[in-house]
A and B are shown apart, each in its own frame.
Chain A
């Protein structure tokens, strides 16, 4: 009996395809991606790294509001999104804006979300996604519902959601996985384990050796992936998606990753809880560095191409922040108008009050 824990933990070894030097260490699980697709993955990761750098700068200038840095998590965020189809449904957490952007959210709307404008949350009609969830865990129970809905409709699509390592301690985390498991619903639950929930290290969340093994409690499949390896994240998500649409139920994917920046731009100082040594250790694992080496080895990537992406990103960001700043300001009557299909009596009255105020 005393070996139960060990035998459970041994089921969750880290899945890796590309090592830190950009070498394929697991040819068997190498995903089938064309050269163009491989380049597109790199392009997106570089673009997103620039987006993070510019977002931090714009936040410091006061031109953006709430922002949760993403640098370091590109493989985890974009590798998983790259495995999705257009009609799959994303339920992101607050750090998961990049997945929305690459699934189709215009950049200026992502900036409006940051600034606190409702238009930032008005997902385009052809984008199946909710806006970033602030209540940690809520996206997990909702994902079970979206996935059950897809199953009932007979759709060949999946619902994917993301939380962090801290989020795995929430009740909704367990309920969401467990419901999806009980209904064999096509859901993919991603845990992006970047080692810290604000200042609290992952070891303080649970004495479980992996977060992936929490899938066992729901009776569903769990995979731990090197979250700095874009090919492994892609392959794991693709595998989970294939299982889900084949009616085999949900999967939990833990990606081992790191955020190079602070928790958010709202005053968090990671030097209070993270050592320089640790930062350096993870810098060696940078998903861009190893994928760049891999692509260069295949003669698919050059400095020139990378610079082109960087310039393109900077131009797009400049235009998008302008568009966001030009967007009409919110009025109380807009907010009232968005509350119900038909306004109840109290809001009918308040609508009149604010209309009068606004026309002065």
Chain B
């Protein structure tokens, strides 16, 4: 075991798979010699060579097309999109192409591609770096969308993503890259895609969340505990598909739920979680399922992040509304 930040765990996962499978290729803007703008691919080109880990011209759509073409030649591409706000340039390659390839070719061609990209607020990035756009990806049949919240999960989920024979979008929250360390096994391990994790057990209310908001939920849960309120915190880990079973099991126990996301209310995937709960467990609910989200504006100018991003205080407030319904 070693103490690792999330970014180290991510590098470690890529190193593990580059070693395990000669078909794994890592590429993107500045991922080679430079080791990535966040150092996520640090040392990988030196260890595995320019043939396996390489830079590309500055064009996201081309990177997506490159991944698709390489996949037809039996490679297992792990392309990086420097910031997920730049995904608009490559939405056709992701949603219009790789997500559909197995289906459109009746299984003749498959796309074992893992698209990695940082996103997320709280670190005062310039425009279109921090936007939460997982909701766009979650609406595309043919994709799976993963958002880890801890170093341990980042490594296990990334190894699973790379080994998956269908396209996976792996979104890495920038605020979590180096915010804390945790014990991460040095050997390889996997975490099943599509499975949520109960981060904290509770009996009064279920908090369903993902990404950086998982930590806000845990902080809120601690505050709530001071008032004698016991919150259960579920980390979705995969936002498409959603692990309905784990959510239902919890809601049936607590009878109350709040869904928490960093994305705007009209975006993200919270509405989907609410719908699933009301379709499958309405008779177990003592109160409506409410959401904590960002407001429906364009992502905040960096100086306004603090007032704009949802915080643990917003979560505490919403839990109280649900409890006093």
A150 within 8 A of B: yes
- Is the beta-carbon distance between A141 and B62 smaller than 8 angstroms? yes
Which A residue sits closest to B96, measured CB to CB? A135
**Could you say which residues of chain B place their CB within 8 Å of the CB of A123?**
105, 108-109
Q: Which listed residue, B59, B66, B142, touches A145 by the CB 8 Å rule? A: B66
- Is the beta-carbon distance between A172 and B57 smaller than 8 angstroms? no
Most buried by B among A125, A145, A176, A347: A145
B73 within 8 A of A: yes
How far, in whole Å, are A140 and B68 apart by their CA atoms in the complex? 11
How far, in whole Å, are A140 and B93 apart by their CA atoms in the complex? 11
- Is the beta-carbon distance between B110 and A341 smaller than 8 angstroms? yes
B3 within 8 A of A: no
**Could you say which residues of chain A place their CB within 8 Å of the CB of B66?**
141, 144-145, 148, 179
- Is the beta-carbon distance between A148 and B69 smaller than 8 angstroms? yes
- Is the beta-carbon distance between B194 and A149 smaller than 8 angstroms? no
Size of interface on B: residues with Cβ below 8 Å to A = 44
B201 within 8 A of A: no
- Is the beta-carbon distance between A178 and B59 smaller than 8 angstroms? yes
- State whether A121 and B72 are in contact (beta carbons under 8 Å apart), knowing that A340-B166, A341-B165 are contacts in the complex: no
How far, in whole Å, are A347 and B59 apart by their CA atoms in the complex? 34
- Is the beta-carbon distance between B68 and A142 smaller than 8 angstroms? yes
One digit per residue, 1 when the CB lies within 8 angstroms of any chain A CB and 0 when it does not, for chain B 66-98 equals: 111111111100000000000000001100110
Most buried by A among B73, B74, B75: B73
- Is the beta-carbon distance between A89 and B72 smaller than 8 angstroms? yes
How far, in whole Å, are A182 and B62 apart by their CA atoms in the complex? 12
- Is the beta-carbon distance between B61 and A175 smaller than 8 angstroms? yes
A147 within 8 A of B: yes
- Is the beta-carbon distance between B59 and A175 smaller than 8 angstroms? yes
- Is the beta-carbon distance between B241 and A345 smaller than 8 angstroms? yes
Q: Which listed residue, B64, B74, B142, touches A340 by the CB 8 Å rule? A: B142
- Is the beta-carbon distance between B69 and A152 smaller than 8 angstroms? no
**Could you say which residues of chain B place their CB within 8 Å of the CB of A146?**
69-70, 72-73
- Is the beta-carbon distance between B102 and A338 smaller than 8 angstroms? yes
**Could you say which residues of chain A place their CB within 8 Å of the CB of B104?**
118, 121, 131
**Could you say which residues of chain A place their CB within 8 Å of the CB of B69?**
141-149, 159
One digit per residue, 1 when the CB lies within 8 angstroms of any chain A CB and 0 when it does not, for chain B 167-202 equals: 000000000000000000000000000100000000
- Is the beta-carbon distance between A130 and B105 smaller than 8 angstroms? yes
Which residues of A are at the interface with B, using a C-beta cutoff of 8 A? 89, 118-119, 121-123, 125, 130-131, 135, 138, 140-150, 152-153, 159, 171-172, 175-176, 178-179, 182, 335, 338-341, 344-347
22 interchain pairs, CB-CB under 8 A: A118-B104, A118-B106, A121-B105, A123-B108, A130-B109, A138-B65, A140-B65, A141-B62, A141-B66, A145-B70, A145-B72, A146-B70, A147-B69, A149-B69, A149-B70, A149-B73, A149-B75, A172-B65, A172-B92, A175-B59, A345-B194, A347-B241
Known pairs A145-B69, A149-B69, A171-B61 / 16 extra A-B pairs, C-beta < 8 Å: A121-B106, A122-B108, A130-B109, A135-B96, A138-B65, A138-B97, A143-B65, A144-B65, A145-B72, A149-B70, A149-B74, A150-B73, A338-B106, A344-B144, A344-B240, A344-B241
* In the A-B complex, the 7 residue pairs with the closest CB atoms: A145-B69, A141-B65, A149-B73, A175-B62, A146-B69, A122-B106, A344-B241
